[in-house]
A and B are shown apart, each in its own frame.
Chain A
Amino acid sequence: MRTIDAQGLSCPQPLVLFHAAIKENATDPLDVLVDNEASRENVSREARNHGWKVEAIDMGNGTTRLEIRK
Chain B
Amino acid sequence: MKNFLATTPGIIVTGVIIGVLASVLQKYGNPANMGICVACFGRDVAGGLGLHRAAVVQYLRPEIMGLVLGSLLAALATREFRPRGGSAPLVRFVLGMIAAMGALVFLGCPWRAILRLAGGDGNALLGLAGLGVGIWIGTLFFKNGYSLGRSSTQGVAAGVLFPAIMAGLLLLYFFFPQVEGQAQSGPIFYSVKGPGSQHAPFLISFGLACVIGFAAQRSRFCTMGAFRDLFLFRSTHLLLGIVAMLVAAFAANYLTGSFTPGFAGQPVAHTDHIWNFMGMVTAGLAFALAGGCPGRQLFMAGEGDSDAAVFVLGMLAGAAMAHNFGSASSGAGIGAYGIHATLIGLAVCLVIGVLNLKKA
Contact = CB atoms under 8 A, between A and B. Distances in A.
Contact of B233 (A10, A13, A46): A46
Contacts of A46: 233, 235
B142 A12 contact: yes
A15 interface: yes
Contacts of B147: 9, 13
B152 interface: yes
B82 A16 contact: no
Contacts of B235: 46, 49
Interface residues of A, number: 19
Contacts of A49: 235
A8 B229 contact: no
B87 interface: yes
Interface string A9-30: 1111101100100000000000
Contacts of A13: 142, 147
Interface in B134-188: 142-143, 147-148, 150-153
Contact of B237 (A7, A37, A45): A45
A9 B142 contact: no
Contacts of A62: 82, 153
A64 to B, nearest CB: 12
Given A37-B80, A41-B6, A45-B237, A12 B229 contact: yes
A38 B223 CA distance: 15
B87 A8 contact: yes
Contacts of B229: 12, 15
Contacts of A45: 237
Contacts, number: 50
Contacts of B220: 38, 41-42
Given A11-B291, A12-B225, A41 B3 contact: yes
Interface string B262-298: 0000000000000000000000000000011000000
A18 to B, nearest CB: 9
A70 B233 CA distance: 19
Best-buried of A19, A36, A49 by chain B (most CB within 10 Å): A36
Nearest to A7: B150
Contacts of B307: 10
Nearest to A9: B150
B220 to A, nearest CB: 5
A10 B290 CA distance: 9
B57 to A, nearest CB: 31
B82 A36 contact: yes
10 contacts: A11-B292, A12-B232, A13-B147, A15-B232, A15-B233, A36-B84, A37-B78, A42-B220, A46-B233, A49-B235
Interface of A: 7-13, 15-16, 19, 36-38, 41-42, 45-46, 49, 62
List 10 A-B pairs, minimum CB-CB distance, nearest first: A8-B150, A10-B291, A8-B151, A41-B6, A38-B220, A37-B80, A16-B142, A8-B152, A12-B232, A11-B291
